[in-house]
Amino acid sequence: MNHKYIYLIILFCAISLCSIFFVFSKTYNNKNVVAEINKTKENKKIILATCPTYYDIAKKIDPENYQIIPTASTAESIYLLLQNKVDMILSGRTLKPEEPKMESLLIEEGYSFLSNYERTIYLNDLKNHIIYTDLNATVIKDIFAVERVFEVNDVYKYLNKGIIVTSWQNTNYHKSEIVHLLDNNGNRVKPSRQLSIYCPKNCSQEAHELAMIIK
């Protein structure tokens, strides 16, 4: 056989072997990359922003699965959520009209303290204020250790006369402002808040699992 043909055959075989090796190597590497991506996704922590009221609850959540981002307020948590910096947030209030609509999971229902202007009141001083409520006055007295609580039909008619206590569902930010109720250590009194999980769109299975954890 002509040496020229033998050389071409050898060259063809060599190129074929290299091509097979390259394809195999690329496929192997791609499988490794896909596996690594899947592993990363599986091990990815859920990033949870929380307002100060629930720092203690957040500390009890498994750090292997969650990364906790403490924020100064619900407004800051919402900002981080809109920036896709966090996956969900723990909040102690309902959303304000100017804030985006989001799906939520209610964990613990509390009482909404409102006034005609935003202010802070310490729990020990609450007894010095007249309280108007459309809820059960006896229950309000027992929970917050106050005496001057009056039941009325429309609490928003009494904004200028005292502190109003209503449900978070009846909270109207167009008519009123939040009263921040604090204990002697400067922490929010939890019964004056409503614990909810807010999700960017639909609350995922992870959000429902978190709700079960912190209930």
Domain CATH code at residue 153 = 3.40.190
- With b for 16 or more beta-carbon neighbours within 10 A and e for fewer, the 143-175 pattern comes to ebebeebeeeeebbebbeebbbbbbbeebeeee
Mean pLDDT of 124-144: 97
Flag whether 198 is in a domain: no
The verdict on 97 and 122 lying in the same domain is no
Flag whether 199 is in a domain: no
Q: Is the pLDDT of residue 28 over 50?
A: no
The verdict on 29 and 65 lying in the same domain is no
Q: What percent of the chain has pLDDT over 70?
A: 80
Residue 93 structural domain: 45-108+205-215
Task: Give the separation between CA 161 and CA 177, rounded to whole angstroms.
Answer: 14
pLDDT per position as a tens digit, 52-77:
999 888 888 888 889 999 999 999 99
The verdict on 55 and 95 lying in the same domain is yes
The verdict on 40 and 51 lying in the same domain is no
pLDDT per position as a tens digit, 75-109:
999 999 999 999 999 999 999 999 999 999 999 99
The CA-CA-CA angle for residues 51, 56, 60, to 5°, reads: 115
pLDDT per position as a tens digit, 150-195:
999 999 999 999 999 999 999 999 999 999 999 999 999 999 999 9
The verdict on 172 and 119 lying in the same domain is yes
The verdict on 116 and 189 lying in the same domain is yes
User: What pTM value is reported for the model?
Assistant: 0.75
The verdict on 144 and 97 lying in the same domain is no
Task: Name the band, by pLDDT with cuts 50, 70 and 90, for residue 35.
Answer: very low
Task: Give the separation between CA 36 and CA 20, rounded to whole angstroms.
Answer: 24
DSSP letter at 179 equals E
The verdict on 77 and 140 lying in the same domain is no
Number of domains in the chain: 3
How many residues appear in the chain? 215
SS3 185: coil
Sheet architecture: strand order including 195-199: 66-70, 46-50, 88-91, 195-199, 103-108
The verdict on 30 and 57 lying in the same domain is no
The verdict on 160 and 132 lying in the same domain is yes
